[in-house]
Chains A and B, each alone.
Chain A
Amino acid sequence: MPVVTATLALIIFAAGTIAGSLGALLGLGGGVFLVPFLNLVLGFPFTIAAAISLTTVIATSSTVSAGRAGKQLINMKLGMLLEVATAAGSFLGGVTAQFVSQSVLQRLFGVVAVLVALIMLSRLRRRNVILDPAADPGVLGGRYHEAESGCSVTYRVKRLPLAVAASFVAGNVSSLLGIGGGIIKVPVLNAWCGVPLRAAAATSAFMIGVTATAGATIYYGHGQLQPALAAAACLGVQLGSWGGMKFGAAASAKWLKILMAAVLFIVSAMMFLRGGR
């Protein structure tokens, strides 16, 4: 367990702020940047880094969803159904993480970081599904008011088993690696299950609080969560994601994504180098 000094707390607070604002700009949780920083740069054991990152995932989810609740962007019924799968995946991941070695986790992180980068690059031009405002959304579908276009958006959920499977995998990866898992769920929900991007992102952000709680509780009980460092990281991420959402609209998402994909490729390579030792 790392020794907490004021300098270390400040470094982690700053790292959290940067990860949180990048996360808000890219529509990610930020854990995918925080975990490698804590593990590779500060040299924390992987599980300690993942535990800190999971608490920031919970803080982000609660903060963002509290602001969005009541605006119908979050599809609560779909979210609660998929949570059954993410929480199960996360529980298993949290238990598994106690039995596998750091090098296995690092190599797994390397694989996921490459996938995240590839998904990000393949989605440079985001598109929405075709929508018929008169359609019946069904039990799991949704309807929300889109501010940009000024019209009401209606959608039905398709291929539910696929969404459930993706949620299980996302939950598992989430608590093993300390990331939110939205990067796995959002593209699947958007590309194959008929959920518009904004609703998919809001619903995923809503779910990751429960997902990360299942994992973080296990790390906390196992004594792998240093509360002072988690506090510094959570406060930093909350400040960062607030700033990212407030000032981020003007930033060019395309170049930011290309830059971050490059960072993730480097992170992945470093994880493989360390994990291969």
Chain B
Amino acid sequence: MKLERLIGTVLRAGVVISSSCLAVGLLLYLANGGALAAFLLNAGIVVLLATPLARVVVSTVQYVSERDWPFAALTFIVLLELVASAVAALVFNRRL
């Protein structure tokens, strides 16, 4: 169950990093605002959004290395879907 442990590590790291950024960012934001607060808050959100993505990347790599092609393909499709939503986000962003 190497993959399960690997995924557990990725998720735990993502949670710790994003929660710390969000907590410090929020406190700074309420204290005085400023560029650092905005940076930390956005970094926290990006890490939060990137954590499930990283978990899918790790799974794809692991299934490829195990030569489990059906599941390598499935996780790769999920990866493409997440990339598609990021692309859609950029398209919406540009329109406004």
- Partner-B contacts on A (CB < 8 A): 4, 6, 9, 55, 58-59, 61-63, 65-67, 69-70, 72, 74, 76-77, 80-81, 83-84, 87-88, 90-91, 94-95, 98, 209-210, 212-218, 220-223, 225, 227-228, 230-232, 234-235, 238
Contact = CB atoms under 8 A, between A and B. Distances in A.
A88 B30 CA distance: 37
B84 interface: yes
Given A59-B48, A72-B4, A80-B78, A223 B96 contact: yes
B77 A84 contact: yes
Contacts of B81: 84, 87-88, 91, 214
Interface of B: 1, 3-5, 7-8, 11-12, 14-15, 18-19, 22-23, 25-26, 29-30, 38, 41-42, 44-45, 48-49, 51-53, 55-56, 59, 71, 74-75, 77-78, 81-82, 84-86, 88-93, 96
26 contacts: A4-B30, A6-B30, A58-B51, A62-B48, A63-B11, A67-B8, A74-B4, A77-B71, A84-B77, A84-B78, A88-B81, A91-B85, A209-B11, A210-B52, A213-B52, A213-B82, A217-B86, A218-B89, A218-B92, A220-B49, A227-B25, A227-B44, A228-B25, A231-B29, A235-B19, A238-B15
Given A59-B18, A217-B86, A220-B49, 18 more contacts: A62-B15, A62-B52, A65-B7, A66-B15, A80-B56, A84-B74, A91-B85, A94-B85, A95-B88, A209-B51, A210-B56, A217-B49, A220-B45, A221-B92, A222-B89, A227-B44, A228-B41, A234-B18
Contacts, number: 157
A214 B25 contact: no
B7 A76 contact: yes
Contacts of B78: 80, 83-84, 87, 210
The majority secondary structure among interface residues of chain B is helix
Contacts of A6: 30
Contacts of A70: 1, 4-5, 8
Contacts of A209: 11, 51-52, 55
- Name which of A76, A87, A231 has the most chain B CB atoms within 10 A of its CB: A231
A12 to B, nearest CB: 10
Determine which residue in A214, A222, A235 has the highest number of CB atoms from chain B within 10 A of its CB, and name it: A214
